Amino acid sequence: MNRLIYFFALFFIISQPLFAQESGVPRAVDVSNRPTTLTLDFSTHDYELILYSFKMDETDHERTFNFVVTGNFGASKPPVFHANRPAHRTIPTERDRLEYQLRQSDCEIARRLQQTGGYQPVAAKTAVQQQIGSTRQYVFSFGKAEEDTTITATLVATSARAHGYLDISDTGTLHTARIQAHLNHFSTEAYPLATSVYGAESDVDNDGKVHFLYTSLVDKVGGIIGFYTIRSVLPENRGGNGNMADLMYLSPTLSSITAYQSLLAHEFQHLISCYQHVLLRNGRCEESWLSEAMAHVCEDLIGRHTQGGNRNLVSRYRSAPHEYSVTGPATFSTGIRGAAYLFARSLMEDFGTDVLSRLVQTANIGIANVEHATGESFHPIFDRHLSRLFLSGKDLNNTLNFTPPFLQNATSPKEFSVSPETPSVRLDIKPLSVAYLRLTSNQQQTTFTITTDAEGDFRAQLIPLPRSGSIAPSPDFDGNGRVGFSDFVMFANAYGTRSGQANFNAKYDLDGDGRIGFSDFVLFANAYGKPVSG
C-alpha cells in the first residue's frame, strides 16, 4: 500500500504544471527545441508569454524571424491564425535622411581622427569678454545649404553659460527677450543638470559658454529646427569648419519656448557625448540607438519633458514592439527611438542614474558599452527590461516598475491573444524585438506548442497572471482526453480537502463550492469512462 501511495504521489507531482504559480514573477522558458511544448495550469492563472529574438549580430535590422504559438484546446475545427500584417518597413522622412547625413558626417570625422592620432586641442587662449551688440562670423553648411556659407551674427543676449547670436539677416524674426529666456533656462537648469549627469563639453574656445546661433538657414535645411555637429569644434585641417566653438544652430521661427528647451536639452547631450566619446577619449561615435536614448533621457532630466515628445516615442513603440529592434538605426524611426529610450530608462531603474555618466564618459559604444557600464551581460539586462515593459504599473511586481508616473501609467505593449477563440498566432519579428502573447484557456490544463525560426535565436519568459474569466469544470485531471482510473486516483487523494488548506487544489472542486466532497464525486462519476469534448 505504501508503494502504491508513493507512485500515486509521484504521478500527482509529475502531472503538475511546469511553472510555479506566483503572479507577476517571470520565469525563463527554453524554446531552443523546435517545437517546444509548454503545459500550463489555468485553474487560477492566465499567462503572459514574452517571446523575443536575441539576434545581436544581425546587421540587417529590417530582417524578420518567424514564430508560431498554438494552443491545444481540444478543438475539432482547424486553427485560426491571428491576423498579422507584414512587419513594418521603415520609410525615412526628409528629416530622418538629414539627421542620418549629419550623424554619418560626424562619425566619419571621428574615424579620421582615430586614424590620424586623435583629437589635439588647440592651445588654450584667454577668452575675450564679448559685449552685447558685437558681431562675429560663423560657417554654416548642411542639408540643402550644400556650400559652406559664412554668416555674420550679432550677440543679442548672454548668460552665465551661453551666448545668443542672431544672424544679421534675421533681425526682427525673434525677440531678444525670447532668446534671453532660452539662455537663462539653459544656464540655470539645462547646463548644470546635463553636465552633472553626462560630463563636460569641450569648451574649445575657453570662454565657458555654449553658443546658440539663430539663423533661418536652419529652416532651409528642411525638416529640422536645430542641430549640433562636431565640425564646429574642429579646425579646418582636422575636418572641421573652423568655428571653434561649442555651437548649436537653431531656427529663429520656432514659437514654443518649451519646444526650444526640449531641443536644447537633446542637442546639448549630443554635444557632450561627442566630446566625451570622440574628442576626449579618441573613440568612435556612439551607435545611433544609444546616442538617441541618452539625448531623449536628457529631455526628461531637464524641464521634466516626460510630458512632451518622449510620450509619442513610447506610444509608437508600444503599439507594435515586434516591429522595432532596440539596437536598430534610431535616426530613421520614432519606434526605434522609443524602444531605445525605454531601454535606457530600464537601465536607470536597475543601476541608478549614475549609469548614464558611465555610458557617456567612455570610448565604448553600443552593447559593449552597456555591458561595461553595468558589469552585466546584455541578456539578463534585456530580459528584465522586457518584463518591466509589461509589468510596470500593474501592481504585480514592484521590483519591475518604472519610477516615473508617466511610464507607469503608459499603455501596455500590444498583445496577441492565444485562446480557444484564436488558438494560433503566427508572427514575424525584428532582431532584438519582442512579441507579447496573452495565453488564456477554458480548460483546467492546456498544452501550447511554440515553433521558432532557428536563425532568430529566440528566447522566452512566462509570467503567471491573475485568472480572468471562468473555466468549464473538467474531471480529466491528467489531461489525456479521457476520464479514467488515473483521474479517479487523483480525485480520491484530494477528497475531503477544503479551500484554505495547504493540500487543497481547486481543479478537483468541480462544483466550485470550496470543498471537494460528494457533489464533486457525483459530477466525476457521471463523466467517468467518457472522452472529454473540446
**Given this model, what pLDDT does residue 123 score?**
65
CATH code, 2-82+412-472: 2.60.120
Q: Are residues 173 and 193 in contact, defined by beta-carbon separation less than 8 angstroms?
A: no
Give the whole-angstrom CA distance, residue 160 versus residue 241: 26
- Mean pLDDT for all residues in the chain: 86
Work out the angle at residue 218's Cα, subtended by the Cα atoms of residues 217 and 224, and round it to the nearest 5 degrees: 155
Write down the pTM of the prediction: 0.82
Name the residue type at position 344. A
Give the chain's length.
534
Residue 133 backbone dihedrals phi, psi, to 5 degrees: 100, -15
Query: How confident is the model at residue 351, as a pLDDT?
Result: 98
| pLDDT at 405 (0 to 100) | 82
pLDDT score recorded for residue 22: 84
The helix or strand, by DSSP H or E, that contains position 195, with its residue range, turns out to be helix 191-198
Q: Where are the domains of the chain?
A: 2-82+412-472, 94-115+130-376, 475-534
Backbone region of residue 122 per phi and psi (left: phi > 0; alpha: psi in -120 to 50; beta: other values) = beta
pLDDT of residue 146: 57
Q: Where are the alpha helices (DSSP H) in 235-331?
A: 257-274, 288-301, 309-319
Are β-strands 247-250 and 226-227 bridged in parallel, bridged antiparallel, or unpaired? antiparallel
Grid cell, residue 352, equals 541608478
CATH code that applies to domain 475-534: 1.10.1330.10
With residue 100 as reference, give the H or E element that holds it: helix 94-115
Beta strands in 196-256 (DSSP E): 210-214, 226-227, 247-250
Per-residue model confidence (pLDDT) at position 13? 39
| Cell numbers at 142, concatenated | 548642411
Q: Which grid coordinates belong to 123?
A: 592651445
**Residues lower than pLDDT 70 in the chain:** 1-21, 75-92, 123-127, 143-147, 255, 303-308, 469-473, 511-513, 532-534
- The per-residue pLDDT for 140 is 92
Grid coordinates belonging to 77:
475545427
Closest C-alpha to 370, from 348, 387, 389, 388? 348
pLDDT digits (tens, 9 = 90+) for 77-120: 455 444 445 445 556 677 777 778 888 889 999 999 999 988 88
d(CA 208, CA 246): 9
Query: What is the distance between the alpha carbons of residues 170 and 172, in angstroms, rounded to a whole number?
Result: 6
CA distance 7 to 38: 24
Which neighbouring-strand residues pair with 403? Answer: none
List, as one string, the DSSP characters of 356-383.
HHHHHSSS--HHHHHHHHHSS-HHHHHH
Sort 79 into a burial class: Cβ within 10 Å, 0-12 / 13-18 / 19+.
Answer: middle
**Does the bond joining 35 to the residue before it have cis omega, within 30 degrees of 0?**
yes
Smallest CA-to-CA distance from 295 within 432, 199, 162, 194 is with 194
The CATH number of 94-115+130-376 is 1.10.390
pLDDT, residue 314, reads 92
